Amino acid sequence: MASIAQVEPLTTARALRGPFDYRLPEELLGGTVGVGSMLVVPFARRQVLGVVVGLSEESAVAEEKLLAPLRALDLGVPVELVALADWIAAEYCSTIARALTLVLPPGAARRLSGRKRRAVVRSEHLPVGARRPQPPPLTPAQERALRSLLDALGERRFEQRLLQGVTGSGKTEIYLRAAAGALERERGAIVLVPEIALTPQIVGRFAERFGETVAVLHSRLRPGERYEEWRRLRTGEARVCVGPRSAVFAPIERLGLIVVDEEHDASYKHEGDPRYDAREVAVERARCSDALLLLGSATPRPESARRAAITDDASQTRLLRLPARVDGRPLPRVSVLDMRGEQNAGLHPLTVQALAQVREDRGKAIVLLNRRGWSNFLSCRSCGRVWSCPECDVALVLHRRDGFLACHHCGHREPAPERCEQCGSISVGRHGAGTERVQHDLAAALEGDEDRFPVLRLDADTVGADGGVATLLRRFEAAESGVLIGTQMVAKGHDFPDVTLGVVLDADATLRFPDFRAEERTFALIAQLAGRVGRGAEGRVLVQTIAPEARAIDHASRHDSDGFLAGELERRQALRYPPFSHLIRIVCAAVESPPARAAAGALAERLNDSLINLPLGSETAARTVDEQARQGRRERGVLAETGMRAERVSPGFGTRATEDAVSRSSAAVLGPAALFRLRGQERQVLVVKASERRPAVRAVGEAVRRVAEDRAHKGVSFSVDVDPQ
């Protein structure tokens, strides 16, 4: 009988290599403890929480040296989530202990104290026992999509579908019916949404349709409530889970369906260690559960579009389309307003005119400007001093109402200056306009007032940590007429039927980011805002830009997702960007610049050596040496685009392209290059571009471990991001 439990203690130490063996005492034998059980174990003279990752009959450790766990917690983690954590640790270059913390019940670490849980009354986010409205009839396109999904569910094997449907085409109804289909087949469902606060409508509809069968996991729940929702899922009381990215770890057994709504949304990427992408985790989880994965969006990512285009079975199309809105209304007409040569850089005369018309007609408008604050930066008109963050090499943004300058990277704040400290001049120039200033200017131009025509602002400054978004959106909904101005938050999931005008200011702002996803982001932002307009009446959209010919803007103004995706995939293939390669970003940070540079240099050297020896992929082996040499030259330009200022290209990079052409094709090391100082840390970045993911991740993990262990690089911290977003 298995009497040894292999336990992974949950500590954040990277150097620790578990699992560790523990001898199970009499009372924990006989099936009470299995893989996924949570045990409190003695570890290095402390008590820590651990997860059982394996059982065995014997141990390499002498019996008298084996310790016994102190006790077992009542509910553990499902076995398949332990396997998923293992996959995440390997895939995202993290440790199994860190990955396991993702799949644990909420507040697990806190319950170490042994304190008994009190009964929790569930809060009122679900209309318990509320009316169950009749589902609306389906359009023929919805019927077709649903039939395909139900067929796939019936197969009980891993399947992927992409639901590409314009905003208002009824994707949510498809999710609801697919989830019902999973329940009918006695399987559970997970529905991922970008941000609960911005998508209250979808949560409400699931709660309405499924009642107590739905559990909602989100950060605004109190710890006790979160645990209660988790427990209901773990015990099978609830079989459908709706939540943001972390809901991909919902403890549902016999999972049949995972839906990823608004799959283009950047919030699916987690920014702490492990830096997992919930969309990729969803693929892996669906694969292991023989479940159906359904991605939905009006503006799918190039990665997803390409996956959907690869069909291995001719009878099964992976791309499902909803080309029209359910109410039959056309998408709004989009006009691009050229801002080159405009005297007033903020608002185009036609924009002001259109907004005035909305006021006249007692209608509603949404204005999008992806920049918070009053002015982007301040400078002294006499000596040229620019106010910048003491901790980061970036300009401070003026927030006028609250009278301070803020760093949008680290949160540093200081009072807004009245004069220049350097030369004493009182002439301080304010440059650029953010949402705060545009709100002010529009309220003045449109004679906005609280009752008759409110000009509301939705951004991180006007909404607090909880509840603020919902309150603001409700105010806009309740107003008879008015304007909602804000950052990208205004373009997300909510639905106001009476908005007839959408305006995008400085539409090319996102294009100016040095990032290969800049085009994709810009396209999605404009298309998503257009989707919010004209849901109940005819609408129009104005796009202000100084780059009217930019591909992303041009395609978005014609609602041409397919054209945009085709061009974008072509460009990425030519430059070997995802989905045609995998990127791994490594940042070395230290208080002083030289140690960060030295560590990055040492890493680059190791990686250049180890990546040459990577096995070849079939995709790369087919390429000619000539192509590879060309590729090598192109990579230098790529460096700048991945968000790095190229200071130096690693030795041998590009020049060795011809001699090692074929082997180097499987991976290239770009950098090191300097990043701007952040939170008092000087940073150096390296990017590995590889055609095969696992061996590259392994090589990076090994190289980072070696360099981090080297005393010469003490004081340098390393972070590894696989699939940086």
194 vs 434 by CB, closer to Zn ion:
434
Tally Cβ neighbours within 10 Å of residue 645: 12
Among residues 18, 23, 16, 20, the alpha carbon closest in space to that of 2 is found at 23
Residue ranges in 45-64 that form contacts with Zn ion under rule CB under 5 A = none
Question: Of the ranges 268-276, 425-433, 508-516, 647-655, which one interacts with Zn ion (CB under 5 A)?
Answer: 425-433
Q: Which of 59, 201, 219, 382 binds Zn ion (CB under 5 A)?
A: 382
Cβ neighbours for 113, distance < 8 A, ≥ 6 positions apart: none
Task: Name the residue nearer to Zn ion (CB basis): 239 or 412.
Answer: 412
**C-beta closer to Zn ion: residue 318 or 408:** 408
Cβ nearer to Zn ion, comparing 393 with 538: 393
The end-to-end CA distance of the chain, in Å, is: 48
Chain CA centroid to CA 209, Å: 28
Task: Give the list of residues 6+ apart from residue 289 with CB closer than 8 angstroms, or none.
Answer: 80, 158, 254, 255, 256
Q: Which is nearer to Zn ion, 370 or 379 (CB)?
A: 379
Decide if residue 380 touches Zn ion (CB under 5 A).
Answer: yes
- Which positions from 296 to 335 touch Zn ion by CB under 5 A, shown as an x/- string? ----------------------------------------
Residue among 171 and 408 whose Cβ is closer to Zn ion: 408
Only one of the segments 93-101, 159-167, 201-209, 411-419 lies at the binding site for Zn ion (rule: CB under 5 A); that segment is: 411-419
Q: How far is the CB of 383 from Zn ion (least distance, A)?
A: 3
Shortest Å, Cβ 431 to Zn ion: 15
> Which distant-in-sequence residues (6+ apart) come within 8 Å of 214 by Cβ?
126, 206, 207, 238, 240, 241, 242
| Closest C-alpha to 211, from 237, 230, 185, 190 | 237
Nearer to Zn ion, 260 or 674 (CB): 674
Of 101, 425, 717, 725, the one binding Zn ion (CB under 5 A) is 425
Does residue 388 interact with Zn ion by CB under 5 A?
no
Among 409, 430, 551, 571, binds Zn ion (CB under 5 A): 409
Minimum distance between the CB of residue 499 and Zn ion, rounded to whole angstroms?
Answer: 36
Q: Is 417 in the site for Zn ion (CB under 5 A)?
A: no
Q: Which of 423, 444, 591, 621 binds Zn ion (CB under 5 A)?
A: 423
Cβ closest to Zn ion, residue 234 vs residue 408: 408
Inter-residue contact 545 to 340 (CB < 8 Å):
no
Q: Determine if 412 is a binding residue for Zn ion (CB under 5 A).
A: yes
Closest CA relative to residue 692, chosen from 719, 665, 653: 665
**Binding of Zn ion by 413 (CB under 5 A):** no
By the rule CB under 5 A, 422 interacts with Zn ion: yes
Minimum CB–partner distance for residue 595 and Zn ion (Å):
21
Q: Which is nearer to Zn ion, 81 or 428 (CB)?
A: 428
Site membership for Zn ion, residue 407 (CB under 5 A): yes
101 binds Zn ion (CB under 5 A): no
Q: Is 420 in the site for Zn ion (CB under 5 A)?
A: yes
Q: How far is CA 175 from the centre of its chain?
A: 20
Query: Is residue 408 involved in binding Zn ion (CB under 5 A)?
Result: no
Size of the site for Zn ion (CB under 5 A): 15
- Position 426 contacts Zn ion (CB under 5 A): no
How is the chain split among helix, strand and coil, in percent rounded to 5?
35, 20, 40
Among 208, 290, 342, 391, binds Zn ion (CB under 5 A): 391
* Residue 392 binding Zn ion, by CB under 5 A: yes
Q: Can residue 385 be called a binding residue for Zn ion (CB under 5 A)?
A: yes
Q: Which stretch binds Zn ion (CB under 5 A): 95-103, 330-338, 390-398, 474-482?
A: 390-398
Minimum gap (Å) between residue 683 Cβ and Zn ion = 13
The distance of closest approach from Cβ of residue 676 to Zn ion in the complex, given in angstroms and rounded to an integer, is 10
Give the tokens for residue 620: 């790369």
In the bound state with Zn ion, the residue whose beta carbon lies nearer, of 28 and 380, is 380
Contact, 12 vs 47, CB < 8 A? no
Closest CB to Zn ion among 422 and 613?
422
316/422 with CB nearer Zn ion: 422
CB of 386 to Zn ion, least distance (A): 10
Phi, psi of 470 (to 5 degrees): -60, -40
The rounded distance, in Å, linking the Cα atoms of 397 and 431 is 10
Q: Are the C-beta atoms of residues 526 and 552 closer than 8 Å to each other? A: yes
Identify which range of 123-131, 305-313, 381-389, 533-541 contacts Zn ion by CB under 5 A: 381-389
Helical residues (DSSP H) of 362-405, grouped into ranges: none
- Asked if residue 675 binds Zn ion (CB under 5 A), the reply is no
CA distances from 194 to 244, 306, 582 (A): 6, 22, 24
Residue 681 carries which side chain, given as an amino acid letter?
A: Q
Stretch that binds Zn ion, among 4-12, 408-416, 544-552, 563-571 (CB under 5 A): 408-416
Minimum distance between the CB of residue 590 and Zn ion, rounded to whole angstroms?
17
How many Å apart are CA 91 and CA 558, to the nearest integer? 38
Q: Which residues, at least 6 apart from 63, have a Cβ–Cβ distance to it below 8 Å?
A: 23
Q: Are 164 and 319 in contact (CB under 8 A)?
A: yes
The sheet that has 188-192: what strands, in order across it? 214-216, 240-243, 188-192, 255-260, 292-297, 159-165, 319-322
Nearer to Zn ion, 289 or 376 (CB): 376
41 contacts 9 by C-beta, under 8 angstroms: yes
**In sequence order, what E strands does 591-696 have?**
667-678, 681-690
Q: Name the amino acid, one letter, at 275.
A: R
Q: What is d(CA 458, CA 370) in angstroms, rounded to the nearest whole number? A: 11
User: With binding defined as CB under 5 A, does residue 605 bind Zn ion?
Assistant: no
- Separation of alpha carbons 13 and 722, rounded Å: 20
If the CB atoms of residues 413 and 698 are measured against Zn ion, the closer one turns out to be 413
Task: Give φ, ψ of 599 to 5 degrees.
Answer: -65, -40
Helix (H, G, I), strand (E, B), or coil: what is residue 266?
Answer: helix
Q: Which two tokens stand for residue 459?
A: 């951004």
CA torsion sign, 218 to 224 to 227 to 229?
negative
Residue 102 lies near Zn ion (rule: CB under 5 A): no
Residue 389 interacting with Zn ion (CB under 5 A): yes
Pairing of strands 319-322, 159-165: parallel
Q: Decide if residue 404 touches Zn ion (CB under 5 A).
A: no
593 near Zn ion (CB under 5 A): no
| Region of 144-152, 407-415, 455-463, 715-723 interacting with Zn ion (CB under 5 A) | 407-415
**Distance of closest approach, residue 589 Cβ to Zn ion, in angstroms:** 14
Q: Is the link from the previous residue into 19 a cis peptide, with omega within 30 of 0?
A: yes
What's the min distance (Å) between Cβ of 423 and Zn ion? Answer: 3
In this structure, the chain runs to a length of 725
Contact region with Zn ion (CB under 5 A), list: 214-222, 230-238, 405-413, 683-691: 405-413
Q: Among 310, 248, 307, 259, which residue's Cα sits nearest to residue 87?
A: 248
Cα separation, 223 vs 292, whole angstroms: 31
Shortest distance, position 413 Cβ to Zn ion, whole Å: 10
Q: Measured from the CB atom, is 222 or 431 closer to Zn ion?
A: 431
Here's the x/- map for Zn ion, 336-375, by CB under 5 A: it reads as ----------------------------------------
Is the peptide bond preceding residue 302 cis, with omega within 30 degrees of 0? no
Binding site for Zn ion (CB under 5 A): 380, 382-383, 385, 389, 391-392, 407, 409-410, 412, 420, 422-423, 425
